[in-house]
Amino acid sequence: MTDKIQKILPPEWAEQQFVQLTWPHNETDWADMLDEVNQCFVNIAREIIKREDLLIVCNDAEVVECFFDEEELSKITFAEMPINDTWARDHGGITVFEDGKPVIYDFTFNGWGMKFAANHDNLITRKLYMAGIFGDAGHKNCFDFVLEGGSIESDGLGTVLTTAECLLSDNRNNLSEDEIEAKLKDLFGLKQVLWLNHGYLVGDDTDSHVDTLARFCDKSTIAYVTCDDTEDEHYYELKKMKKELRSFRTSAGGFYRLIPLPMADAVYDEEGERLPATYANFLIINGAVLVPTYSSPKDEIAKQQLQKAFPDREIVGIDCNALIKQHGSLHCVTMQYTSPQPPPKEGEWSKK
């Protein structure tokens, strides 16, 4: 009889090997604003390659290469393949350590509950593995389960934060909360799952992904979206979410340190529909945190709040007005891959 495999789902602040971007092109929903979104992607890419390697998945590498100089290109790996869209957070692989070795878990992506086509995006991770992009990391077929990276947050110590609205969606797995929780614990070797039953953003297509609402910043800190305007329709739901966060306990048994992020100023599309702008959709990378900004005075408030959460990292704002026009933001278009170094035994993940 073999011993049970020890599994660890690393936190985002663990040392990273590279970050994935899946680049927009003229056959995606970005076609009518390609120049604008390309500039946003270039800005994100340049901040990443200052600090670590970058993987760009695209349908034509020659088109994308033109945005970068030779020094920048030396930090970029290109992988050409058909793609439906650009939301790497949700179609990207998820790094898990099995007995200290990295394995890329490859879940089914069904376009956020079959809202959008995902036939090409659902194949990206296995194609990357077959092309050797993940090096010595293994690959695990998890195609019997629908799971998006934006729907879960890990502290690296066996706790996952998620939302009931997303994971209990009938159009994903159609399982009960107990069944989903058991599945997550088995997949990732978890000790506890923290369920948020409140909180949402108008215009969000993901059914309340947790990365739009509340994020682990370290093993005992959560940054979360708050709303002080009683006239804003988010006010009462976010107030209830805060109450839930206050009740949660860390893996060590203590309460979380909670850092409020301002509710982003309302942004509307041409039809007058509100877009899901949020400061919680930041990306942690080696040495920095990339924060979405929206041409608002609140941008600086959000950056200052996140500096409290990440005192040893540079806080870098990236204009993401382009991204929210397609109902996502900075974290949504990225996926980090953890360094293959063995995870720490005591849970003190690298914070470079």
Is residue 193 within 8 A of residue 155, CB to CB? The reply is no
pLDDT digits (tens, 9 = 90+) for 277-310: 999 999 999 999 999 999 999 999 999 999 999 9
DSSP state of 275: P
Average pLDDT over residues 67-80: 98
pLDDT digits (tens, 9 = 90+) for 221-255: 999 999 999 999 999 999 999 999 999 999 899 99
DSSP state of 73: H
pLDDT of residue 1: 41
pLDDT digits (tens, 9 = 90+) for 122-158: 999 999 999 999 999 999 999 999 999 999 999 999 9
For the sheet with 314-319, list strands across it.
283-285, 288-293, 314-319
To the nearest whole percent, how much of the chain has pLDDT over 70? 97
Residue 352 has pLDDT above 60, yes or no: no
Residue type, 302: A
pTM of the model: 0.96
Domains and CATH numbers, the chain: 7-338 (3.75.10.10)
Burial 221-245 (b: 16+ CB within 10 A, else e): bbbbbbbeeeeeebeebbeebbebb
Confidence of residue 341 (pLDDT cuts 50, 70, 90): confident
Residue 347 has pLDDT above 90, yes or no: no
